[in-house]
Each structure stands twice: as C-alpha cells, then as structure tokens.
Chain A
Amino acid sequence: MAAVVVDNAPIIDLHDVVKQYGSGESAIFALDGVSLAIYPGEYVAIMGASGSGKSTLMNVIGALDIPSSGEYYLDGIDMASLDENQLAIVRGRKIGFIFQSFNLIPRTSALANVELPLAYQGIKIKERRIRALKALDLVGLSDRLTHEPTELSGGQQQRVAVARALVTKPALLLADEPTGALDSKSTADLLDLFDLVNAAGRTVVLITHEADVADRAKRTIRMRDGKIIEDTAKVLA
C-alpha cells in the first residue's frame, strides 16, 4: 500500500467509509470499509468491474452521496458536518466533475455551460466571461463558444465539460469514466488534457475500467466488492 509521498496533508482522506443499501440480512455494502488518502498533485485511477463500488466511491468523494458510516475529510473539511447547502458550496469550489455522459446543460451554449458554476458561486459576469473564455481556450474550443451541446461532437462536449470542471480552479478534478463514450482519438486528446491539468499541479481522480486509460495515471487503485484490493503507484520514469 505505497502512495506517492507528498509532504503535506491529503486532499482526500477516507477512514473506514461504509456505504450500505438496505439493512439486516439483505444489506448490500457498496463500500465496505474503505480507507484512502490522496494527496495534492496526485493522478489516481480507480479501477474495478461494474458493481465493485468504484462509482459509489466517486460519488462519496464528490460529495454527491453521503456515506453510511466512516469519516471523510476533503481538503481538511469534515464532510459529515456540512448541511446540504454547504455541500453544494464545497462541490462548487473544490471539485470539478467530469461524467461519462458529459452532462452538459442542454440547449445552452458551450460558453454558458462553462460560466454556470461561476454563476452559482456569485462571481460577476465580467470576470465569469474572462475565466470561461480562458478555460475554453485551454481545452482548444475557442471557436465553439456559441455552439450548443447537440452541435458538438462527443469529444468536444467532453472538453467543454473539462473546461466547466476547471473554470472554478478546483483542488480536485473528479472524472467518472470520462472516456467511456469517446472514440480512441478523442480519448487520447482527453487524456493528454488530463496530463496537462495534472502537470499544472491539480489533483486528478478518474474512474475507469480500461487498463490503457488507467495506465496514464501515476497511481492505480483496484476495487472489488466495495473494498480496495490493490493500490499501486507507478514508478516514476
């Protein structure tokens, strides 16, 4: 259980987290006592078959779901102590989400989609526009600002999603099967983008079941039946 040694506090710190559905005999443990620490600047891939609990883990890390028991500190904040509104604020400020199905707001331009998290943070329109343009520039979509999701290819939509995730300057980029719906060319582009983001110092956690995608990460965590069964750090070349 070796981790890349980074000499400051973990950004994600899970202690014996359990997520349980149902109770008694019929109880199903989606997470069965997971303890995990991820440090700033890491690039972590979480792998596992479907039903292994990796999506639940991601939801818990992303503050979308609340664990049944155990402790979770995100950037030092005890998530159990937050109410729904505070969780929304934490999600908005600390985490950038990327989903398999892109999850852009339909019938809304790329630019407006990227501006949206800033709007919810109460950032002024002018600054919002500047930051959104910058984020879209970073993902190479400066020429698609007014396009709506249906007018963009899958790869482009996912890059808009990445821009939206990055525009808030989150501590953590959380990607759930981000390449699941992409062709190989788009996948390669996206993974290059992740490398770039990680190289800039941002923590990236991605969930995948594709080995070649996981290969790009510096640390790979394997899950089965709600438990972490393997946690390997790639030897830096």
Chain B
Amino acid sequence: MNFFEMVRFAVRGLVANRLRSALTTLGILIGVGSVIILVAVGNGSSKQIQDNIAKLGTNTITVMRGGGGFGARAQSRNTQGKPLTVGDAVQLSDKKSAPNVKQAAPVSNATSVCTNGSSSTTPASFIGTWPSYFEAKNTKVVKGTYFTNDDVTEGRRVAVIGKTTASDLFGEENPIGKVMRCGGIPFSIVGLTETAGSNGFLDGDSLIISPITAVQRALTGYGNISSIVVQAKSAKVQDQAQIEIESILDKSHGISNVNSRDYRLLNQASLLATTTSTTKVFTVLLGAVAAISLLVGGIGITNIMLVTVVERTREIGIRKAIGARRRAILGQFLIEATILSLVGGILGVLVGFIGSNFMIVGVKPVIVPSSVFLAFGVSVFIGLFFGGYPASRAASLRPIEALRYE
C-alpha cells in the first residue's frame, strides 16, 4: 500500500467525521491565526511608537536644564548650576567645536492666551526659536512659509501655527496673513504646520512657533531658555555629537565633575532603543499567549485522535483481520492527524492575513513573516507529534482484542 493510498484512507476517515474534524481544525486554526495576528499587533504597535518617535525629529538631541534624574530634583529650577542660554545654542552651532552637529536651535517656551476678536485659544506649546528648529524637529509648514533668520534678527512678531490653533482662532478661514494677539501683543501668521496628531497627552497641532527674539521681547523676557534642540549630522555620528555637546557645555558651564552637570541630554536614538526593547517584550508576551493556544490546539488533536482510535478500535481490528499491516494503520492515523493540523494551519494563516488587515485596539497590525512560517511549521509538527501517540496506539492494537472491542 503506497503513501497516496494511505492519504486517501485518511481523508475518507476525516470526511466520515466531518464535525469532529472541523472542530479539531478550528483549534489549530485559532492557534495559528492568533499567533500571527497577536505578533502582528505587537509588531504594529512597536512600529507605531517608532514612527511617533521618528516624527519628533531625526537624529535630534535635546539639551534640557537640570541634572540627571526625574521628579522634584530635576524640576526644581533653583539656583543650582547655570541655566541654558541662547549663547549656549550659538556655541553648539559652531562648526569648529562641534563638527558633527548639523544645527542647533534654542527653545523658549511661553504660556499665553491668544485671541482673534472673540475667539481665543491657549496653545499647548508656544515656542520661540530659530528657523533651524523646523528641520531638527521635523516640523513642516504646508501652507505659507517658515519664518527666516532675518525675522529672528529683527525680532519680527511673525508666527507659524498648528491646525488646532488655526481652527480655534479662525475657524475655516485661511489664517495666513491674519493677525492674532497673544498676551495682547499682535503676531502675524505666516505659515501653517503639517498635521501632527495627538500623542495621547498633548495635541501636537495646538502649536505656535515664533522667532525667539519676538517671544522673549513680548512674553518671556530675555532670560533663560527651556531647552536647546540639536540635530546631529547623521544617526551614525549622534554619539560623537553628544560628546561634543557635553564638552562645549561642560566648558561654558564650568563643570569638572560629570556627575554634577546642570543639564541633561535626551537622545532620540536611545529613546528609540528603549521603546523598541519595551515593545519587543510586549510582542513576545502576546506571542507566548498565542503559542499557548496553539499548544492547546495540539492537545486537542491528541484528544480527538485518541477518541477516534478508541471509537474505531473495532474498525482497526477489521482492517488488521483483512490484512492491514502495522505500517498501514500507523500511516493512516498519522496522516489523519497531520491533515487536520495542516488544514488548520493553512486556514489559520489565511485568518491571520485577513485579521491583520483590521485595526485592532487602535493598532494597525504588521505581519512578521517569520511568525507565519513558525506558526505554520509548528502546527504541522504538532500534527505529527500529537498524532503520533494515538496512531502508534492504534497500530499496536492486537487484532483479536480490537475485534472483541464493543
């Protein structure tokens, strides 16, 4: 009896028990499908976070005030150490002492209510800075223009605003060329930024960006600045750029001990690395949960095949009585189990692919090819492995006992 013949017998055996075969297949289907979808969700959410981080700017290092650490110590803006100044930003822009820095921009954060007639808004961020900020932070103007270095030098009260701010103040009207009053002082609007969306806490489109000189003169005063945004020339030289920044600032702030720095650096790359490793854990967890369901599906196959063997004991006895060899019986049951898991695996992959087209808890799943192969391979292996025991039990039944079985 050849292999093809055994497959035919196996298929016949499965078709004879349609419902049971279908339910067993369902177990594997759910296992394989959930491995693929859940890993895709994990992968998708990690992609999403990476995209969000990339949106913050490329190769940027943010210099912030205060020493290392978080909480009260970092927030206490006491007299400890020197504050950041526009001068620091100028130094960091120096091509000689910081060759790996592409550009730097000081950031001065203002808080102000802005009005247009009876409409008013409080922007989530009101930033005074240099034009280089736009590139460093990956902020694009889609309508109108950026402000220029000239505007900074002259202290012109011009502003680039976000979509939320625009609609709060001007509704559907085109804001370009219009004037808004912030803290009573007029700013003319020259540009509208690309929609950034919300990061969950802050509306990225509730935004005003103006020349730092104008913001300082009108709102914050010429004192300290909040932070300096530095863009490295490339991702490769980000570490060197960071060392350059540290050496420049250590010098100008008179710091000899690296532990007592009065500033800290927020590195885009390290942020990315941290979140990537976090989301990896997330993906692994999801995958593990799904793998368990795949295992349960496999045990389901064993269970069903054992029931099948018991139920068909007599049939096995008959087959042996009319000349079936051990190999033929073993083959038939093994192939039955493998077909179950194979069909379940294929359908599971299909379900995985289809399911990954939908948004799941706000995440667009991104299929990981290796998870597809792994899930499918495991399902076939499960068929062989979990089907093996019942099959060998069937094959080793003594014909006389099998025939007597009621």
Question: A residues bordering B, Cβ < 8 Å?
Answer: 59, 62, 64-65, 84-85, 88-89, 91-93, 97, 99, 103-108, 112, 116-117, 119-122, 164, 168
A59 touches B324 (CB 8 A): no
Chain B nearest CB from A148 CB (Å) reads: 10
Chain B residues lying within 8 Å of A89, measured Cβ to Cβ, are 323, 325
Known: A103-B314, A103-B318, A105-B318. A121 touches B400 (CB 8 A): no
In the assembled complex, 25 residue pairs joining A and B whose CB atoms fall closer than 8 Å, in A order, are: A59-B400, A64-B400, A65-B400, A85-B325, A85-B326, A88-B320, A88-B326, A92-B322, A97-B322, A103-B314, A105-B315, A106-B16, A108-B16, A112-B12, A116-B319, A117-B322, A120-B1, A120-B319, A120-B322, A120-B323, A120-B324, A120-B328, A121-B1, A122-B1, A122-B2
Contact with A along B302-329 (1 / 0, CB 8 A): 0000000000001101111111111110
Which residue of B9, B12, B314, B321 contacts A64 across the interface (Cβ within 8 Å)?
A: B321
Chain B nearest CB from A118 CB (Å) reads: 9
Chain A residues lying within 8 Å of B320, measured Cβ to Cβ, are 88, 91
Per CB-CB distance, the 9 closest pairs between chain A and chain B, nearest first, are A92-B323, A107-B16, A117-B322, A120-B323, A64-B400, A88-B325, A65-B400, A103-B318, A120-B324
In the bound complex, how far is the Cα of B321 from the Cα of A112, in angstroms? 16
Chain A residues lying within 8 Å of B399, measured Cβ to Cβ, are 64, 91
Question: B residues bordering A, Cβ < 8 Å?
Answer: 1-2, 5, 9, 12, 16, 314-315, 317-328, 399-400, 403
Chain A residues lying within 8 Å of B317, measured Cβ to Cβ, are 103
Chain B nearest CB from A186 CB (Å) reads: 21
Chain A residues lying within 8 Å of B315, measured Cβ to Cβ, are 105-106
In the bound complex, how far is the Cα of B328 from the Cα of A120, in angstroms? 8
B321 touches A91 (CB 8 A): yes
Chain B nearest CB from A5 CB (Å) reads: 32
Please indicate which of the listed interface residues B5, B318, B403 has the most CB atoms of chain A within 10 Å of its own CB: B318
In the bound complex, how far is the Cα of B318 from the Cα of A105, in angstroms? 7
In the bound complex, how far is the Cα of B325 from the Cα of A93, in angstroms? 12
Chain B residues lying within 8 Å of A99, measured Cβ to Cβ, are 403
A116 touches B322 (CB 8 A): yes
Chain B residues lying within 8 Å of A92, measured Cβ to Cβ, are 322-324
Chain A residues lying within 8 Å of B2, measured Cβ to Cβ, are 122
B325 touches A119 (CB 8 A): no
B400 touches A91 (CB 8 A): no
Please indicate which of the listed interface residues A59, A103, A104 has the most CB atoms of chain B within 10 Å of its own CB: A103
Chain B nearest CB from A56 CB (Å) reads: 9
Chain A residues lying within 8 Å of B321, measured Cβ to Cβ, are 62, 64, 91, 97, 103
Chain B nearest CB from A156 CB (Å) reads: 17
Please indicate which of the listed interface residues B12, B16, B321, B403 has the most CB atoms of chain A within 10 Å of its own CB: B321
In the bound complex, how far is the Cα of B2 from the Cα of A122, in angstroms? 7
In the bound complex, how far is the Cα of B328 from the Cα of A86, in angstroms? 13
Chain B residues lying within 8 Å of A164, measured Cβ to Cβ, are 322
Chain B residues lying within 8 Å of A104, measured Cβ to Cβ, are 318
In the bound complex, how far is the Cα of B320 from the Cα of A105, in angstroms? 12
In the bound complex, how far is the Cα of B325 from the Cα of A103, in angstroms? 18
**CB-based nearest A residue for B318:** A103
Chain A nearest CB from B308 CB (Å) reads: 12
A88 touches B324 (CB 8 A): yes
Chain B residues lying within 8 Å of A120, measured Cβ to Cβ, are 1, 319, 322-325, 328
Chain B residues lying within 8 Å of A168, measured Cβ to Cβ, are 322-323
In the bound complex, how far is the Cα of B323 from the Cα of A117, in angstroms? 6
Chain B nearest CB from A62 CB (Å) reads: 7
**CB-based nearest A residue for B16:** A107
A108 touches B322 (CB 8 A): no
**CB-based nearest A residue for B396:** A84
Given A91-B322, A103-B314, A117-B323; 19 other pairs, CB 8 A cutoff = A59-B400, A85-B325, A85-B326, A85-B327, A88-B323, A92-B322, A103-B318, A103-B403, A105-B315, A112-B12, A117-B322, A119-B1, A120-B319, A120-B323, A120-B325, A121-B1, A122-B2, A168-B322, A168-B323
